[in-house]
Structure 1
Amino acid sequence: MFTGLIEEIGTVLALEQSPERPDAVLTVNASIVTADARPGDSIAVNGVCLTVVDLFADGSFTADVMPETIERSTLAQFEPGTRVNLERAMRADARLGGHIVQGHVDGIATLEVRVPGERWDDLRFSIDPALTRYIAEKGSISINGTSLTVTEVDASGFGVSIIPTTSEATTIGALQPGDRVNIEVDVLAKYVERALEARFETSTYQPAHLRQDSRPSRLSQPGQFNQPGQLNQAGHLNHPGHLNAEAAIATEGMLR
């Protein structure tokens, strides 16, 4: 798990793919994120959680990339020299400065408009409409692994604003219209949706109009004890523990 606060910008050295296999091996040059890394550790590369396989003296590392990752992310576009955002997995005793980022990319967005400002830039992205239901204004979203606040959202896309620090410390500062980026929506929104789906899938609730025919009559039946709050056949409210009219007459005859 990650926070979306980028630690450094690394450089892709190679993306090795074989015609016989759909997966790939990615090699990235870094320094900060590999300073204390070991094989098996997780590093987010442009928002994609990858497992370190090999480490080298120059700070570079390799990671295996599965077919699912290649299909859902922009990693297939990597080539030697591509600059990428890097972040180590968060520590349990560290501050969560951004938001919860799993490193599981949900889809790819395209930068449509970039409007430079005096102290910030406004960026507008288009995205698969199926993902916009997980995006909320003032909520969080991960763009190439960077935690950002959503400024506006509609059925076709969303917008964010970039401060100078973000532009300088991440690859987002170099994005231009037409560039494609990895997107991870807020995982909390996905869990809420799934919980609601599961509730309705298992619910036995039926609207009142569907239950009316199966309800027992509110009139008590002969020979039965009255139920509190129900009307007996005489139209009077029953009292707890009292026999209804027919049962009372029969009982009186037996006592005689």
Structure 2
Amino acid sequence: MGTEVAVDKEANGNLLDEKKVKVVFVLGGPGSGKGTQCANIVEHFGYTHLSAGDLLRAEIKSGSENGTMIQNMIKEGKIVPSEVTVKLLQRAMQESNNDKFLIDGFPRNEENRAAFENVTKIIPEFVLFFDCAEEEMERRLLNRNQGREDDNIDTIRKRFKVFVESSLPVVEHYESMGKVQKIDAGKPREEVFGAVKDIFSPIDEKIDAGKPREEVFGAVKDIFSPIDEKIDAGKPREEVFGAVKDIFSPIDEKIDAGKPREEVFGAVKDIFSPIDEKANKNV
């Protein structure tokens, strides 16, 4: 999975090596709990959290020529071009020692999305979408103690409207590509993170290969359901493996099923290794 591209090696005057990265867009309405869960993902799965808004503010604070331009545009009530924001994200990924990134609250609209793909040549691994009812998000925003000036009923509802009109089309675009992981963000925080962990946990960690063969195969079936409906696991081993080969062809060419069980499972793990090990994207 992933898209392999070459980075711009001279970004902002710095010579950078090519690097392959995994990008996950994190989207959800205001008050959906994105920030809390992003912090959990960073802690448990080693991602770097990038916020487009934070990067713009940091660039302005730096006093750079680019930052002055951004500040002037904001003062004049102009919208900062998508390409400017995308290049800040690109630079942050290039300069990071990490290769896994959560991009929070971006792209906000279809223009942002197109600019990101055009500039970086990256298609996100997936979109993590925190789906939450407006009533619940409104309750959370009004009750939280962050003291944000825009946390009043009128501005909150305007933000909801902007999200529905601008950001949901981005979610729908990636949903049409099968790249959306939807989370029920209306549940308690712990349950939400449980669902998040299921998405980010490597497949091989979910299987205890030391258990009896029948239990291991049961665990494999749970992961690849509804594929399990196509396999009669009660048949002899050779027939079961033949059915598996029919489903995963041409993957079957990569596995020598005549080897010892441990070596066969090692080959299977290589094929179904964690998504983040397969991310072949370059910024």
The TM-score bracket by the shorter chain reads under 0.3
TM-score by length of 1: 0.22
Structure number having the greater helix percentage: 2
TM-score by length of 2: 0.21
Structure number having the greater strand percentage: 1
Greater C-alpha Rg = 1
